[in-house]
Structure 1
């Protein structure tokens, strides 16, 4: 899918440059609707998690964090790490991504525990091979549930629509902007929320998907901010929002 995404992005870049318009403008989108991006705190010890929060706060005054849970050490370790992050960033907006790391029992326990601590939503609490349990979790969870690993393309969305509240779209998972746009349309038709996420993507891929972020309820496009030598310039951080520029096409130049 990464190869397909690269070709797809190149064609859209050509289209934008041919029309001399950035893609967001070509598609008639209002970039003032873009919400702040979250930044990610990976699974670690409570102390290392606090250090990472402080690094993000020093770098961009981050106030939106996605906390990765699903520790192999169990939900007690997850709770300790989450509590450490919340203690050092008490005013921040927090979401949680379990990356399919919980059983149904643990997911129900953690959903209740996290809801009491103000978490906005819970992403991929169950592994793909246990997604048949999503309807049970959907009915009992006090938190909205988002699908990531269970949702690759628009074909996956209809079977999930009755047991999740939203989907995470990644350009390298969907195979490009064409399928990402199709996923948005299907999600909207089924009254699901949309999140945009990333893998370890460069500024090129994150700027490409940023062209569509006016559609997103949540954004997690921070991977390129971790790169020491990202070879691309594109979307920029403005008051916590990853904003595409006015250059034609993808809006990406070489560093």
Structure 2
């Protein structure tokens, strides 16, 4: 099979601020494999957790390096491809882009969308949350109003907390958002590791009193030893994101969290996302799917697995001004994969943009 790599830049409608910084645009990597006249598409978006950020350049360079080794293989030889990626030490974002392209190719060859090929029911897909970044109360309220103007059918919100200004700023933002959208009862918070244990405990009670549904990544990656205390004392369920990359990370977390956040960039693609799903369920944990600065291509790919998730946070493509792809539809607050073969993504027509 032949592999092509192309870069594209996307700009956010609303810049997103989390505890680690602010993002207004990213340059993502579009991967195309071609074999027997069929193309499979994949994507990677840069992200940074810990000391080794997966930049656009790192991801693209690793894919270009492995391209010559793929020429002798078929997209159906996924075990061989996976072994080759691991031997070449591809970063997870690069593995994800190629793995997604392989799945897309297989679905197109079978002439079936992946969700149907896997026997899933789209009716089981839950609403996706819309993310409100860290902001002063007035700006947070305006963001909610802006989103309601753009997607009036939204049913769930996720609030980024862990403000450098402290817990009072976090609390003020929560109250402002709830005042701006009193009809939305599904609200969760994500601290992105921005709290210490004592702060997380204090906020868990305060948030529970205000109807918040769960807390995501309250403590920094590397402080998983403090999670048991929070797990046993918090009145709210605890989910982890940055603390969980692959299926190997899940068993040690099973006695100290209630659920995990699976992202394609962290897991290395749909293949490992499947493993994480089954491992988490076997450990009695809940499942959520999340995203980074992903276009419609990536979010449509993970949407193929969405009937198996308890919570969804797949809103990044809805916040893009110049997404080059069209994929899953947004209906009644839900991101729904289509009936086109494979992932079901096409390039956006320039005429349609106007």
- TM-score of the two chains, using structure 2 as the length reference: 0.71
Q: What does residue range 130-209 of structure 1 map to in structure 2 within 5 Å? A: 130-209=223-302
Partner in structure 2 of residue 99 of structure 1 = 192
Q: Within the alignment, does 1:39 sit opposite 2:130 as a pair?
A: yes
Partner in structure 2 of residue 121 of structure 1 = 214
5+ long unaligned stretches in structure 1: none
**CA distance in structure 1 between the aligned counterparts of 2:110 and 2:214, rounded to whole angstroms:** 39
**CA distance in structure 2 between the aligned counterparts of 1:85 and 1:129, rounded to whole angstroms:** 31
**CA distance in structure 2 between the aligned counterparts of 1:90 and 1:110, rounded to whole angstroms:** 20
Partner in structure 2 of residue 249 of structure 1 = 342
Partner in structure 1 of residue 93 of structure 2 = 2
RMSD (CA atoms): 0.6
Partner in structure 1 of residue 117 of structure 2 = 26
Secondary structure of residue in 2 paired with 1:126: coil
Deviation at 1:90, TM superposition (A): 1.3
Match of 2:140 among 49, 73, 95: 49
Partner in structure 1 of residue 171 of structure 2 = 79
Deviation at 1:191, TM superposition (A): 1.0
Of structures 1 and 2, the larger Rg is shown by: 2
Q: State whether residues 128 and 155 of structure 2, in contact with CA within 8 Å, keep that contact through their aligned partners in structure 1.
A: no
**CA distance in structure 1 between the aligned counterparts of 2:182 and 2:197, rounded to whole angstroms:** 28
**CA distance in structure 2 between the aligned counterparts of 1:182 and 1:174, rounded to whole angstroms:** 9
Q: Within the alignment, does 1:226 sit opposite 2:319 as a pair?
A: yes
Q: State whether residues 99 and 123 of structure 1, in contact with CA within 8 Å, keep that contact through their aligned partners in structure 2.
A: yes
Secondary structure of residue in 2 paired with 1:32: helix
**CA distance in structure 1 between the aligned counterparts of 2:341 and 2:325, rounded to whole angstroms:** 15
Higher relative contact order (CA 8 A, sep 6+): 1
Q: Within the alignment, does 1:90 sit opposite 2:182 as a pair?
A: yes
* Structure that is richer in strand per residue: 2
Deviations 1:136-178 (A, max 9, x none): 0000000000010000111100000110000000011111000
- Aligned length, in residue pairs: 255
Secondary structure of residue in 1 paired with 2:222: helix
**CA distance in structure 1 between the aligned counterparts of 2:102 and 2:314, rounded to whole angstroms:** 22
Secondary structure of residue in 2 paired with 1:186: helix
**CA distance in structure 1 between the aligned counterparts of 2:183 and 2:248, rounded to whole angstroms:** 38
Q: Within the alignment, does 1:67 sit opposite 2:159 as a pair?
A: yes
**CA distance in structure 2 between the aligned counterparts of 1:56 and 1:217, rounded to whole angstroms:** 23
* Structure that is richer in helix per residue: 1
Deviations 1:23-42 (A, max 9, x none): 00111101110000000000
Q: State whether residues 57 and 63 of structure 1, in contact with CA within 8 Å, keep that contact through their aligned partners in structure 2.
A: no
- TM-score of the two chains, using structure 1 as the length reference: 0.99
Structure 1 window deviating more from structure 2 (54-63 vs 99-108): it is 54-63
